[in-house]
Structure 1
Amino acid sequence: MCRRARPGTRGDPDPVDGRRGSDPVPSAGGAALPAGAVSPQRRGVYFSLRRRVQGVTLSRLIGLSWCVALLLGAVTVHVGGVFAWPDLGIASALALLALQCWLLTGLFICAHDAMHGSLAPGMPRTNASVCASLLFFYAGFNWTRIRKAHWQHHRRPATIADPDFGGVGVRPLRWYVAFVGRYFGLGSALFMGTFFWGHIILLGAEWHRVVIFHSLPAVLSSFQLFWFGTYLPHRCSNAEFPDRHRARSNDWPEVLSLITCFHFGYHLEHHRHPDVPWWLLPEVHRHARRPSSRKSKAQSEIRPADPSTHCRRTESEARSA
């Protein structure tokens, strides 16, 4: 009985370039290399594939690690503030309130990235599960409803067809109330009410502690998301929008951008590249501000994504999850 030779040995052709194991390896210039050597073309394919796999794996690791860290932080502050730290002073309580607000904002941003498929690239089921869980944990939100509205926001930003747009000349507070009202329905009200009264009646928590470490952070973080991620980028002003995405970015330092809204202030970059996770937006922002003469060839080839194509692809992945 004849044995089938392994690819790359005498016998079957190599699946990459069709050579047999005993054939000489052509070099980039056409000259033959010694048998067993690897051509530059094959090395290029291999290393390009390896870099791609490593990049996707690292992106998943970073995104999911941030998600877990923010969730653990929010749970710790909530449990500690409501139950475990009875002797908090005013300054400590305010500091923890601000921290909890920031942590909840980060969790919503992680859910937003999962909605775009950038939290765990290539893992639609993971993205869908994480997004649904985080939005429910945040305020009992229905992720399917928010996802549908968010796709419309990307397709028609800052227009009458945009569900997040408040209109021309609308005051911020009125815009915010309408913005929250579109998503905070009966389900969210039941969730928040059950959470609040369950802590007081079933767990014996003090009502003011539940307000400080749960209710207030939820409201303040929603305003934080609205102010830095909707109002400032999409409001109509004397300055024209730079392109069809009808969004603006701030020029704040990256540390301040992280503190305010997890780089969501680089909003034009997000609309141009919706598949880029939040933690890479500063790099995209730096690239956009760099003069063309200083950009490398690879950087010059970066092009904005088409919002409709991105939304259709991501929505299809979510439905198949």
Structure 2
Amino acid sequence: MACWFISLYFLLTWHFAWSNPLVYLMVFVQMHLYTGLFITAHDAMHGTISPHKKVNHFIGYLSVFLYAGFLYNHLYTKHHQHHRHVHTEEDPDFAPHGFWKWYFRFMLNYVTVIQLVIMAIAYNVLKIWVDERNLLLFWVLPSLLSTFQLFYFGTYLPHKGEHDNEYHSATLQKNHFVAFITCYFFGYHLEHHQKPAMPWWQLHKTKK
């Protein structure tokens, strides 16, 4: 969370030139940090941030709100529904469709009107002090891109098709660098479903 905040502060105050290739690299760096922010909230939902329940929930609330104005209770309920009913009609993360239909169904299950209002207000307040180019490029775009990163590597790839295990989940081949860069080890998705109480930074230890 601290890395996300420091990076975002720098990027929102950066007087950049479009010709600077570092600009485009930083969009993807910020995307990865946004994904990490959501993964932090995900771990809070599983109680792995702290042994104290209130601390977990506080970090979860803060992380998803900073991510995109999400309401933690709504995501908490949906995510645990996914774990209880994986790959069924009651699974909010699953849809027997191709990538785009599945993605939009996935997003519609999580995005709320209240969230959109919160983000619209935040955008209009921030642009009082922040150059709109910076807002769009380093605040809006990375968060949108991270939804694709989270969905593709953390939902679509692991759960598409049929699987011969009770969690209906696939897993990446053992490659810790790729697993971290793509989605903070959540490509090891079968292992996550087998041990949901294991935090993301330890998931690689479950990989045989």
TM above 0.5: yes
Q: 1:116-147: CA deviations, max 9, x gaps?
A: 01121x21110011001101111111111111
* 2:21 equivalent among 91, 97, 113: 91
Q: Does 1:116 align with 2:46?
A: yes
Q: TM-score, normalised by structure 2?
A: 0.95
- Give distance in 2, aligned partners of 1:75 and 1:152: 30
- Give distance in 2, aligned partners of 1:253 and 1:79: 32
Check conservation: 2:82, 2:91, Cα contact below 8 A.
yes
Other structure's SS at 1:84 match? coil
Q: 1:206 aligns to what?
A: 131
Q: CA deviation at 1:88?
A: 6.3
Q: CA deviation at 1:85?
A: 3.6
Check conservation: 2:14, 2:134, Cα contact below 8 A.
no
Alignment root-mean-square deviation, CA: 1.4
Q: For residues 163-174 of structure 1, what are the structure 2 equivalents within 5 Å? A: 163-167=92-96, 170-174=97-101
Q: Does 1:103 align with 2:33?
A: yes
Percent identity, aligned pairs only, is 33
Q: 1:130 aligns to what?
A: 59
* 1:271 equivalent among 178, 183, 193: 193
Q: Does 1:231 align with 2:153?
A: no
Larger radius of gyration: 1
Other structure's SS at 2:187 match? coil
Q: TM-score, normalised by structure 1?
A: 0.62
Q: CA deviation at 1:81?
A: 1.7
- Give distance in 1, aligned partners of 2:90 and 2:14: 47
Question: In the alignment, residue 259 of structure 1 is paired with which amino acid?
Answer: I
Q: Does 1:148 align with 2:73?
A: no
Q: For residues 1-321 of structure 1, what are the structure 2 equivalents within 5 Å? A: 71-87=1-17, 89-120=19-50, 122-167=51-96, 170-200=97-127, 202-203=128-129, 205-236=130-161, 240-286=162-208
Per residue, is there more helix in 1 or in 2?
Answer: 2
CA 1:73–1:88: 2 relative to 1, 3 Å: farther
Q: 1:215-272: CA deviations, max 9, x gaps?
A: 1111100110000111001112xxx413111111010410111011000000000001
Question: In the alignment, residue 86 of structure 2 is paired with which amino acid?
Answer: P
Question: In the alignment, residue 124 of structure 2 is paired with which amino acid?
Answer: W
Between 1 and 2, higher relative CO (CA 8 Å, sep ≥ 6) is seen in 2
Q: CA deviation at 1:173?
A: 1.2
CA 1:235–1:198: 2 relative to 1, 3 Å: same
- Give distance in 1, aligned partners of 2:186 and 2:160: 15
- Give distance in 1, aligned partners of 2:174 and 2:143: 25
- In structure 2, the gaps of 5 or more residues are none
